[in-house]
Amino acid sequence: MPSAGEIEARLFDLAPGEGAMEWDNVGLLVGDPERPVERVLVALDITEAVADEAIAKGCELIVAHHPVMNCRWLPVQSIRDDTPQGHLLCKLLRHGICAICMHTNLDVAPGGVNDALAAALGLEDPGPLCENGLGRVGTLPAPMSLPEFAKHVCRALGCNGVRYADVGKPVYRVAVGGGACGEFEKDAAAAGCDTYVTADLSYHQFLDARAVNLIDAGHFPTEDPVCLRLVEYLQSQFPGLSIQKSASHREVIHYYVEGE
């Protein structure tokens, strides 16, 4: 039976810690590295529901993408049961559940978030979008119209909807940036792309779109494909482990469309 620390080391083989941005927090963030592990739950985020699912399924370890504590958007100064994040961390600790988070190091890693996204969209010959290794650029087997491609993205990623801006180009050379990667739109333009698929874009970014069609497919849908990759990777490394993707974690954003 491998320990949580051994599983962490194998995950760092896939996505080395040096690949993480300096503001990030990756690796085994909660629990005992010596803890023997038999059952693993993989999820994009460690939410309260994911923690409850891990408890119900007898998992000793949760492997997640987003850090459960102390990264840029989630500073944690205390672990108190009367705060939402503290309550979650206390719950993990009380049940002896370890948490490993592989974040921006998994974004840049070959076989990580962006390769999983490019593969889900059927992009051919994907290569890095940015100098730091983030994002991917590839081509579709054949050009399609933007509305057709928007439908393809929805179906491929299981989105409830997408928001998009049309700059009047058909879709063929596509850049992807899983999660909030709007700042790399200029890299997509510089790479000669006609379309950029990412998440968390602002009104002003849509308003100012000129060089590339912009598609905001949502944070969860653009990153969730990596979870199955993590399940497959861990299963190949530790055939004796019981590893499953969370059944409780899904897209939380819904779209109401007038007239439907």
User: Minimum Å distance from CB 219 to Zn ion?
Assistant: 6
The distance of closest approach from Cβ of residue 126 to Zn ion in the complex, given in angstroms and rounded to an integer, is: 19
- Using the minimum distance from each CB to Zn ion, give the nearer residue, 88 or 226: 226
In whole angstroms, how close is the CB of 66 to Zn ion at the nearest point?
6
C-alpha to C-alpha distance for 64 and 53, rounded to whole angstroms: 14
**Least Å from the CB of residue 79 to Zn ion:** 23
Considering beta carbons, is residue 112 or 179 the nearer one to Zn ion? 179
> What span, in angstroms and rounded, lies between the C-alpha atoms of 102 and 15?
7
Give the residue at shortest CB distance from Zn ion: 179
219 with 199: CB under 8 angstroms?
Answer: yes
- Signed CA dihedral, 13, 15, 18, 24: sign only: negative
For Zn ion, give the closer residue by CB, 187 or 223.
223
Closer residue to Zn ion in complex, CB, 60/223: 223
- Would you tell me which residues interact with Zn ion (CB under 5 A)? 179, 223
**CA–CA dist 114, 54 (Å, integer):** 26
Q: How far apart are CA 88 and CA 84, in angstroms?
A: 6
The residues near 239 (Cβ < 8 Å, ≥ 6 apart) are none
